[in-house]
Structure 1
C-alpha cells in the first residue's frame, strides 16, 4: 500500500465511505429491536434464533462503529487547511449553522409532524394509545433534545432501549450525532489549543482512555459526549498537526485487516459464552473499525476496484436524516403483506425492509433533487 498519497485520494476515500456508512446506520436501526411484533404478538428476540444471531453479527461488526467514524472525519475536515484564529472560528460556526443546525431543526420537526399528525380529529381511526400522548410546549421542545421527556414520557427505568452505554436522543434519533457535533464545534477554540500544544497527543490519549472505560457505566449523555469529543479530537489532532490521514492509517493496514474481523468474531463468541467481556471487545473493535473502514476504502480505490458514485455520496446525508422516520412504518406494511410465521419469514421482512427503505429514499432524493432542489439543498445543509 502506498505510503504517500495525494490529497485527492484522501478526498475520494472519504467520498467512497459516505454511502456505505449511511446504509450501515440504516441497517443498524432497522434490525435493532428489543421486542418484535409478529402477527400482532410481541415476541422476544431470543425466541427467534436466526434473528438473534443476525443481530449479534450486526452488533459485532456495525453497531457503534459508524458514528465514531463520522466524528473522526468531522474533526479532521474541520481544521483542514485553515489558519486558526477568531475570524476562522466564527466563519466555521456560521457555516455549521447551515450544515448542522438548520437540517437538525428541519428533520426533527418533520419527525414531530409525522408523530402528531395521526392525532388530528379526522384521523381518529388510526390512533392507538391516545391516553399516553401528552402534548405541551415543553414536550415539543424536549423532542429536540431528549424525546423520552416529550409527547410520550418514558419512566427512567424504561429508558435506554437501544444503546449499550445509554444516552439521550432527539425525536429523530440518528440526529443525536448532529446535536453533539454542534456542541463539540462550539468548543473547538479550546480543542485547538489542546491539540496544538506539545501534549496534544496525550490529551487525545486521555480522552480515548476515558471514553473506553466510560462504557462500563450508564452515564447517559456523558457517554455520547465522550464519544464525540474523543473521535473529533483525534481527527482534529491529525489535521492540526498536518499529518496525512492516509499515510498515518496505512501504517496499521495489516493490523486493521485482521484485528477488525477477529475482534468481531470474538464479540460473537463472548455474547454466547462470556458476556462480561463483550463490552471490552466491542470498544476495541470500534477503534479497529475506524482504521479498517478507511484502509479498506483506500485499498479499493488504489486497486481500481470501485470509485465513489457522486449520486450515492450526495444522497448519504439525506438517507441518514430521514430513514428513521419511515422504516418502522414500512416494516409494518411488509409484515402485513408477508404474514411471517417462522423465523425465516420474519428475517425476510427485515431484509426486505432494509432494501426497500434504501431504494425509496434514493428515489425520493432523486425526485427532490429534480423538483425541489432549493429546499433539498437547505434540508441537507448544502445551500
Structure 2
C-alpha cells in the first residue's frame, strides 16, 4: 500500500523472481506446440476432430471460468458494463480471468493451423528456418496480446522439436549446467545492460537450463508432484482473486511494511496452492464429473 521500490530488498527479490519465472509461459507454448504438431490436420476429418476435442478441453473450461470470474467481479462491485458488445469483448480478452489469456491465444493458434501447418508437412528445412527466424525477430518478450508474438515463436519452435525430437535427449554435464544456471539467475536479478536482446537471450537460457534440470528431480519428488499435476489447471484458474485478497488484506494491516510485503510474496502463493489442492481433491472425490467438465477432462 505504498510506492513500489525496486531498490529495496523486497523490490529486488520480486523483480528478479518475476524475471526468472518469465520462462513459464514460453515453456507452456513450447510444450503445447510439441504435442500439437505430432499430428497432421490436413487428413480428412482430422481438423474437425481436433476442433471438437479442443472445444471440450479448452473452450468449455475457458467459458466456465470466465463466467465464474465475472460473477466474482460483480459480487465485489468491480464490474458495471451492460453493453453486449463490451461484454463480448471482455470475454474474448479474458478480462474476467486474466490467466486464461494463454488458453484463448492457444485456441486461436490451433484454429488457424490450416494457414501455417503446411510449413511442417512440407519438410523443407529452408522454409522452416526462414519462418522461425521471422518469428524470433518479431518476438516481444512477455507479450500477452491476442496473437502473442511470444506464443507464436515458442508454439512454432515446439513443432520444430516435435520433428527433431532426438535433440531433446541431449544432456550437458553438471558443471556446465551449474555455470549456466548461475548465469541465468545473475542476469535475472542484476539485469546488466538490460534490453530486448539480453531479455530474449535470458529467456532462452532459462528454458534450456530448466529443461536440463528436470531429469535431476528425485523419484521421491516426482512421486509427490505427479499425482497433484492433474489439479494444476484447477489451481491455475482459481488462484488470482484469492491471492489478491490475501495481499490486499496484509497490505491494509501492515501498510508500507517491506518485511510483510516480502513475507506475503512467498507465503501467499503456498497458502493458495494448498487450499485449491484440498478443494480440488474434495471435488475429485465427491463430484468428479463436475470437476472433469470444469477442467476439460484433466483429472
Instruction: Please say whether Structure 1 and Structure 2 have the same fold, judged by a TM-score greater than 0.5.
Output: yes
1:77-113 deviations in Å (ceiling 9; x for gaps): 1132668513222111110111111111111111100
SS of residue paired to 1:62: helix
Measured after TM superposition, the shift of residue 185 of structure 1 is 0.2
- 1:104 is the counterpart of 2:62: yes
Compared CA separation, residues 230 and 256, structure 1 to 2 (3 A): farther
Structure 1 unpaired stretches of 5+ = 1-36, 38-42, 120-129, 147-168
Measured after TM superposition, the shift of residue 172 of structure 1 is 0.9
Report the TM-score, using the length of structure 2 for normalisation: 0.86
Compared CA separation, residues 220 and 60, structure 1 to 2 (3 A): closer
Which residue, out of 181, 202, 206, partners 1:285?
A: 202
Is the 8 Å Cα contact of residues 17 and 189 (structure 2) preserved in structure 1?
no
Structure 2 unpaired stretches of 5+ = none
Structure-1 separation of matches of 2:177 and 2:50: 33
Which residue, out of 189, 194, 199, partners 2:114?
A: 189
Is the 8 Å Cα contact of residues 263 and 285 (structure 1) preserved in structure 2?
yes
Compared CA separation, residues 372 and 269, structure 1 to 2 (3 A): same
The match for 1:348 is 263
SS of residue paired to 2:297: coil
Compared CA separation, residues 368 and 305, structure 1 to 2 (3 A): closer
Is the 8 Å Cα contact of residues 29 and 154 (structure 2) preserved in structure 1?
yes
Is the 8 Å Cα contact of residues 120 and 128 (structure 2) preserved in structure 1?
yes
Paired residue total: 292
Structure-1 separation of matches of 2:172 and 2:268: 34
* Superposition pairs of residues 242-281 of structure 1, within 5 angstroms: 243-244=164-165, 247-251=166-170, 253=172, 258-270=179-191, 274=193, 277-281=194-198
SS of residue paired to 1:382: coil
The match for 1:141 is 88
Measured after TM superposition, the shift of residue 280 of structure 1 is 2.4
* Superposition pairs of residues 1-383 of structure 1, within 5 angstroms: 37=1, 43-46=2-5, 49-63=8-22, 65-80=23-38, 85-119=43-77, 133-146=80-93, 170-197=95-122, 198=124, 199-211=127-139, 214-215=140-141, 221=145, 225-239=148-162, 241=163, 243-244=164-165, 247-251=166-170, 253=172, 258-270=179-191, 274=193, 277-300=194-217, 304=219, 306-308=221-223, 309-335=225-251, 339=254, 342-382=257-297
Measured after TM superposition, the shift of residue 365 of structure 1 is 0.7
Structure-1 separation of matches of 2:199 and 2:18: 8
1:290-315 deviations in Å (ceiling 9; x for gaps): 222222112336xx463253431111
Over the aligned positions, Cα root-mean-square deviation in angstroms equals 2.8
Structure-2 separation of matches of 1:327 and 1:233: 33
Is the 8 Å Cα contact of residues 231 and 280 (structure 2) preserved in structure 1?
yes
Compared CA separation, residues 185 and 83, structure 1 to 2 (3 A): closer
Structure-1 separation of matches of 2:71 and 2:258: 34
Structure-2 separation of matches of 1:335 and 1:219: 29
SS of residue paired to 1:221: coil
1:323-369 deviations in Å (ceiling 9; x for gaps): 11321112233445x63663112212332212211111111111111
Structure-2 separation of matches of 1:315 and 1:229: 26
Structure-2 separation of matches of 1:237 and 1:88: 20
